[in-house]
Amino acid sequence: MEAALRCSLEALLKRVKNGGDIRCLIPLVDIYDGISLRHELPIGGEDIDRFDGDNRLTIADGDEEFITYGSDKSEPPYPGEVVYKDDAGAICRCFNWRESVRTMLTEDTKNAFMCVEMTSADRLDDLNAG
């Protein structure tokens, strides 16, 4: 895995700690970023209407199509990596830490799949309370 890869919460916390501003992206992302910071839980979202078939959390074969934001070439997940995927390829890599441009939320998103993750099993009460 890439050494610099951080979950969304880690990236947000690092930006705030270093005095940076939280970028305003689109309202739905801004809302879940605020919730993520308040409760210190990684949150991500995908556009359900862009899924090809069912979304499933599974182990990657390593040949799934995956193009991330800021790239124009496929960077398939590693064989054995935990991914969300549909019939067209990987939706998110490293659980929900890197998203595909194919299913990312946009201003036009009408139906969203939201994923809240825990970074520690002892946070289950916090997750359920949120």
Q: Is 12 helix (H, G, I), strand (E, B) or coil?
A: helix
Give the pLDDT confidence score for residue 130 in this predicted structure.
59
Give the pLDDT confidence score for residue 104 in this predicted structure.
94
pLDDT digits (tens, 9 = 90+) for 19-57: 877 777 799 988 888 888 888 888 889 999 999 999 999
Structural domains for the chain:
8-129 (3.50.40.10)
The dihedral formed by the CA atoms of 50, 4, 80 and 119, expressed in degrees to the nearest 10: -80
The answer to whether 99 touches 67, Cβ cutoff 8 Å, is no
Give the pLDDT confidence score for residue 1 in this predicted structure.
40
> Rg of the chain's alpha carbons, rounded to an integer?
15
Q: Which ranges of the chain have pLDDT less than 70? A: 1-7, 119, 130
